[in-house]
């Protein structure tokens, strides 16, 4: 849901095991502008594995039940139209749209700026899902150079902190991954003390 610039689609399709990507983007203009001005970001928009829908993400989730293995929400900040994507009701819709054992990854805001919102999200996610974790990464173009991810699973056996598929250095090079590796994956869940204390309480 979202991700109109095409970056998430591009990264997903680096994994050959992915059979299909379904994207729901509310603003078709974002897609067209990205194709024109961000060709490396939108490079996979012509991939036959991609199916696009233009429309509201919440409404899209209402229309799909038990259909997806993974749902990724790459939304704008929780001000204005995207605010609803940070509420429990949206996570309930995503949960219903997942198949058994499915997982969710959503934009989780910044520990330095939005800790109260993150705590609220972590709390309702832990009530909704048997497994819920918060991780973060560094992205220079985001406020404070950091952004988080809210990760949820319908399976109690999921361990987000450990990569399910460990990618060798050779595979990292072959896939053209400039940031991700298995060690970075594990480190994403090591929170600074102020955040660890707040989110565990």
Q: Which residues pair with 151 in a beta bridge?
A: 105, 133
Which distant-in-sequence residues (6+ apart) come within 8 Å of 102 by Cβ?
68, 69, 70, 71, 153, 154
**Beta-ladder partners of 147:** 137
- Supply the residues annotated as catalytic: 74
First-last CA distance in the chain: 30
**Is 10:35 a contact under the CB 8 Å cutoff?**
no
What's the order of all strands across the beta sheet hosting 146-153? 68-73, 98-107, 146-153, 131-138
């Amino acid at each position: 849901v979202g991700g109109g610039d095409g970056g998430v689609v591009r990264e997903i399709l680096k994994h050959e095991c992915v059979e299909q990507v379904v994207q729901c983007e509310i603003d078709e203009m974002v897609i067209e502008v990205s194709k024109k001005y961000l060709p490396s970001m939108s490079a996979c928009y012509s991939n036959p594995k991609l199916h696009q829908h233009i429309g509201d993400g919440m409404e899209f989730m209402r229309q799909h039940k038990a259909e997806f293995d993974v749902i990724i929400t790459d939304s704008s900040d929780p001000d204005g139209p995207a605010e609803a994507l940070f509420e429990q009701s949206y996570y309930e819709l995503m949960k219903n749209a997942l198949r058994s054992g499915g997982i969710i990854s959503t934009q989780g805001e910044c520990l330095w700026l939005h800790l109260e919102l993150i705590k609220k999200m972590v709390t309702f996610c832990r009530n909704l899902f048997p497994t819920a974790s918060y991780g973060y990464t560094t992205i220079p173009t985001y406020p404070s150079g950091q952004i988080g991810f809210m990760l949820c699973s319908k399976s109690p056996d999921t361990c987000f902190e450990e990569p399910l598929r460990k990618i060798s250095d050779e595979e990292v090079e072959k896939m053209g991954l400039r940031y991700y590796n298995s060690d970075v994956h594990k480190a994403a869940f090591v929170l600074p003390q102020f955040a660890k204390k707040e989110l565990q309480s």
